Amino acid sequence: MVTLEWNPGAREDFDLAIEWYEREKSGLGKRFSNNVDSICSKIRSHPSAWPTRGKGIRYCPVKDFPFNVVYTERPSTIWIVAVAHRSRRPDYWKKRLNDLPK
């Protein structure tokens, strides 16, 4: 099975969003975390299920939250590049693509 790896910036995106939601309402951060974990499992099992949007980048929406899990495939690894809010700071994560192994 293919490996799923997180870019450090993506992990930071994820952690910050969990913290923010948890501050807003107790338990909401956990719900967000569970939804992202569920999406990551689906991505790992069926990485090509979501359409590409230029240069092999795919966006998978997080259920019930305004976030996408942004990822790309390498030969034996799926890299999570960002957990990005759908309407804030578009494309801020693109520079992370330069840090990924070829």
Q: Tell me the C-alpha distance between 23 and 28, whole Å.
A: 8
What pLDDT was estimated at residue 91? 87
Tens of pLDDT, residue by residue over 68-83, are 999 999 888 999 999 9
What pLDDT was estimated at residue 77? 93
Dihedral pair phi/psi, residue 7, rounded to 5°: -65, 140
What pLDDT was estimated at residue 5? 95
What pLDDT was estimated at residue 75? 82
Looking only at the bridges linking them, the beta strands covering 77-85 and 67-73 are: antiparallel
Tens of pLDDT, residue by residue over 3-61, are 999 999 999 999 999 999 999 999 999 999 999 999 999 999 999 999 998 888 999 99
What pLDDT was estimated at residue 57? 95
pLDDT surpasses 80 at 1:
no
Q: Tell me the C-alpha distance between 17 and 74, whole Å.
A: 26
Q: Where does residue 66 rank: exposed (0-12), middle (13-18), buried (19+ CB within 10 A)?
A: exposed
Token couple for 92 = 């801020």
pTM of the prediction? 0.92
Domain at 3-88, CATH class: alpha beta
Give the DSSP H or E segment for 84.
strand 77-85
